[in-house]
Chain A
Amino acid sequence: MLISKPRRGRDVPVRLPAVPFNTDDFHRSIIDRGSVVTCRVLIVTNRTDLHADIVAGKIVAHGGSTFRLNLDDFPRDYSLALDFTGDGWVGEIVHVPTDDRLQLSTIGSVWMRKPADYAFPSEDLALQEKQFACAEMDQFLIGLLHCLDCYWMSHPIAIRRANWKSEQLLRAARMGFRVPSSLIANRREAVDAFRAARGNDIVFKALSSPSLAAEKVAPEDRIAHGLPTTHITNGHGELLDAVREFPCFFQEYIPKRHEVRVTVIGNQVFAARIHSQDDPHTAVDFRDFSAEIKYEAERLPQDIEARCREFVQSYRLNYGAIDLIVTPDDEYVFLENNPAGQFLFVEQLVPELAMCDALARELVQGTRG
């Protein structure tokens, strides 16, 4: 079985009302002005999100309805007026160009996809004005989202909680995964000792993002576009003095037979085997897509599959993209979990892993409780 489903169906709903909330009389289809209103899926993302384009189409195909909040058009292209009534916020958000109207009370699911910088009607705000406007937007938007009692893919609190790689390693180890021995240090001698103790076989990886924050600066200010996980060799000796700037993350290099990308959507687990060792360009970091290595559906051992699901759900996430190594001895080694990671590239290379459809179904099901 390539795609596993829970034995007891959707019996582990992960909902995170941010405030105490009586859900006894809460319904996913509500009565509004005498007619039944179908709850909608709110997609929070940016306007160039191909994942969201595709999944939105599938949500509609499954009978759902979407409202897309593109943060890089927000609040410029949206109008809203929300009232606090004592037991919640009411009102609507309107996407002005299309006149699509979202009543807050009809939000049944939220898909937190990707962040973006806000856009304001005035493009020439003074720097301090813009800083203030963004801080106010964060207060408004994140606060509002936290007031929603609905299905989340996944809740911002859960995403935030799950985002720290060093904590992930500890959690994964406690759950029975092998994890690479790791070092965080700003002392050159500690890095040298760590490397020597591991036969000079270690890698460096960015803890925050391989983009090296390129997306956070203007194109003309970019001095690097990114850095994959990198094998540290003797040739890097002089560079290692630079770890003094801030603590850097190193791991032992784990020999691989292949790698596995495990995507957990609700209770479903999708696993893709990545033949990263078939090409030297993907041997250390499989994300060099210029090497057309093979991807295929993977049948995970039952305990590994269950552990991946449990790992993601331990954060109360409804989504996670886990990277595993499989060693030549068939051991599964945990590398990291991406709580809002990508999945479309996997599905495009392994179409039988129908994750877009699964995600759409999950979000639509979420609106129906």
Chain B
Amino acid sequence: MLIRMTLASGWDKTSNNEGAIAMNTEKKLFAFKLADQQAKSADQNRMWKARDGVAMAGCSFPTPVPPGYQLGVTPFQDTSIPC
């Protein structure tokens, strides 16, 4: 059973785990095909990376905060796609 997961980090993993659940990851949409192509390029390893000391939270999912998060006390950088 083929599982293929592609992340923006460039992590691209193919597995033949028989026990895993199949997921239809063949991209149909133009945007996803583009994203897939970018994810395979070396440069994609950089994309959506945070810049030290810069909060990026925006159009994507919220960043989980550290346990017991306190503003100004707990190191925290929200990272996602700004808009």
User: Quick check: A345 and B55 within 8 Å, CB to CB?
Assistant: yes
**A203-232 interface with B by 8 A CB criterion:** 204, 206, 209-212, 214-215, 221-228, 230
Instruction: Evaluate contact between B32 and A287: CB separation under 8 angstroms.
Output: no
7 smallest A-B Cβ distances: which pairs? A225-B8, A215-B61, A211-B60, A289-B51, A242-B30, A290-B46, A290-B49
Cross-chain contact A239 with B33 (CB below 8 angstroms) = yes
In the complex, what residue of chain B is closest to A261 when comparing beta carbons?
A: B82
How far, in whole Å, are A290 and B51 apart by their CA atoms in the complex?
A: 6
**Is the pair A49, B34 in contact by a Cβ cutoff of 8 Å?**
no
Q: Is the CB of B34 within 8 A of A239?
A: yes
Q: Which residue of A lies closest to B82 (CB)?
A: A342
A211, closest chain B residue (CB): B60
11 A-B pairs in the complex with CB atoms less than 8 angstroms apart: A49-B62, A50-B71, A114-B62, A204-B30, A211-B59, A214-B61, A227-B35, A242-B30, A288-B49, A342-B56, A345-B82
Q: Are A228 and B47 interface neighbours, CB within 8 A?
A: yes
Contact with A along B39-50 (1 / 0, CB 8 A): 100010011111
Among A204, A212, A235, the one with the most B-chain Cβ atoms within 10 Å of its Cβ is: A212
Q: Which residue of A lies closest to B61 (CB)?
A: A215
Say whether A54 faces chain B, with CB atoms less than 8 Å apart: yes
Interface of B is mostly: loop
Q: Is A130 an interface residue (CB 8 A)?
A: no
A210/B81 in contact, CB under 8 A: yes
The minimal Cβ–Cβ distance linking A241 to chain B, given in whole angstroms, is 8
Bound: A288/B47 CA distance, A: 5
New contact pairs (20) apart from A48-B78, A53-B71, A215-B60, CB-CB < 8 Å: A47-B65, A48-B64, A51-B57, A215-B61, A221-B23, A223-B27, A225-B8, A227-B32, A239-B33, A239-B34, A239-B37, A242-B28, A242-B29, A245-B28, A288-B48, A289-B48, A289-B50, A341-B58, A342-B57, A345-B56
Total cross-chain contacts (CB, 8 A) = 150
B32 is contacted by which of A224, A290, A349 (Cβ under 8 Å)?
A224
CB-nearest residue of chain B relative to A54? B71
Number of interface residues of A (CB under 8 A): 53
Q: A243 and B30: CB pair below 8 A?
A: yes
CB of B68 closer than 8 Å to a CB of A: no
In the assembled complex, the Cα of A212 lies from the Cα of B31 at a distance in Å of: 8
A227 lies within 8 A of B71 (CB): no
Query: In the complex the two chains form, is B33's CB within 8 Å of A242's CB?
Result: yes
The 8 A CB mask of A312-348 against B (1 = contact, 0 = none) is 0000000001000000000000000010011011001
Bound Cα distance A286, B51 (Å) = 12
Report the Cα distance A318→B12, complex, angstroms.
43
